[in-house]
């Protein structure tokens, strides 16, 4: 499993060297956009609307739009001065609470934590202590230069860091429109609904839930591939190699060979010398 972060978990005077790994992955089927006319992938360029020209990365600065078309420009030096020291990355547990005290609306993303060199014993200590007390740790950590609020908990014998939203990132529920304040249901309706819930109540088995749309989409794609309903761009971008987008080394070599044959200038035909019909005079 790919290690995306190395650091320490600290609670009190205990420090646990750990590695962090993404616990989830996005399996959405990514669809590309093609130009209908020539079937070429569409490019998205950063273009300045005033100068009407593409902008290189080194020409771009960061800014905050505090009002319509009014910005405060922030230099990299300004941002670096605000960022905390990243060399000694640490997950500092500041409190211990019960998991049920945190509403699921706060949870954001999960990361597995594994012990780094020399951290096995301390890792096991924290895991066992959390299990026996039924508590989770509330911590602060820095990921990609951003301070995150997180909880440290146990999931199937493994420590998990779960990033959670700060309270001001959760919108006020009072702002949700058209929510009825009082119940308008009869007692019979409520009893019937409760009976239905009881009949549908079961043990949560995540394996039985599947993404039916993704499965159907992949089957459709495979069917079109098998029926050879595929396409290839009819032309390449000017100035780019025709091997761009080749699916393997052999395709790239063949494409390069074909282009070399097309671009190779035809040899000029040698001009025939015209023989002189005038005979040389011999000396007498």
Per residue in 9-39, pLDDT (tens digit) is: 888 888 888 998 989 888 888 888 888 888 8
Q: How far apart are CA 214 and CA 28, in angstroms?
A: 7
Note the pLDDT of residue 260.
Answer: 67
Residue-wise burial string across 39-76, b where 16 or more C-beta atoms lie within 10 A, e elsewhere: ebeeeeeeeeeeeeeeeeeeeeeeeeeeeeeeeeeeee
What the block records as the tokens of 186 is 């009869």
Beta bridge pairs of residue 143: 146
Handedness of CA 261, 262, 264, 267 (dihedral sign): positive
The residue behind tokens 């299990």 is 131
Note the pLDDT of residue 125.
Answer: 92
What the block records as the tokens of 214 is 């993704």
Note the pLDDT of residue 276.
Answer: 47
Q: How far apart are CA 90 and CA 7, in angstroms?
A: 5
Low-confidence ranges of the chain (pLDDT < 50): 86-87, 239, 241-247, 274, 276-284
Note the pLDDT of residue 12.
Answer: 81
């Amino acid at each position: 499993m790919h290690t995306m972060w190395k650091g320490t978990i600290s609670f009190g005077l205990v420090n646990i060297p750990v590695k962090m790994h993404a616990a989830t992955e996005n399996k959405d089927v990514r669809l590309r956009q093609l130009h209908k006319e020539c079937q070429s992938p569409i490019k998205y360029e950063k273009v300045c609307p005033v100068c009407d020209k593409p902008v290189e990365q080194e020409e771009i600065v960061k800014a905050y739009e505090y009002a319509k078309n009014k910005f405060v420009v922030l230099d990299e030096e300004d941002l670096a001065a605000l960022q905390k020291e990243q060399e000694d990355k640490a997950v500092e547990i500041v409190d211990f609470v019960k998991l049920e005290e945190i509403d699921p609306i706060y949870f954001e993303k999960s990361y597995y934590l594994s012990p780094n060199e020399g951290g096995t014993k301390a890792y096991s200590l924290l895991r066992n202590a959390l299990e026996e007390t039924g508590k989770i740790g509330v911590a602060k950590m820095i990921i990609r230069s951003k301070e995150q609020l997180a909880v440290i908990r146990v999931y199937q014998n493994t420590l998990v860091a779960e990033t959670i939203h700060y309270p001001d990132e959760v919108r006020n529920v009072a702002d949700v429109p058209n929510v009825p304040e009082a119940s308008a249901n009869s007692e019979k309706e409520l009893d019937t609904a409760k009976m239905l819930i009881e009949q549908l109540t079961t043990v949560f088995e995540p394996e039985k839930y599947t993404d039916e749309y993704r499965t159907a989409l992949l089957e459709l794609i495979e069917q079109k591939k098998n029926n050879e309903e595929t396409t290839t761009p009819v032309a390449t971008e000017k100035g780019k190699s025709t091997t761009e987008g080749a699916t393997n080394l052999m395709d790239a070599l063949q494409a390069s060979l074909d282009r070399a044959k097309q671009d190779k200038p035809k040899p000029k035909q040698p001009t025939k010398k015209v023989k002189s019909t005038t005979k040389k005079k011999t000396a007498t």
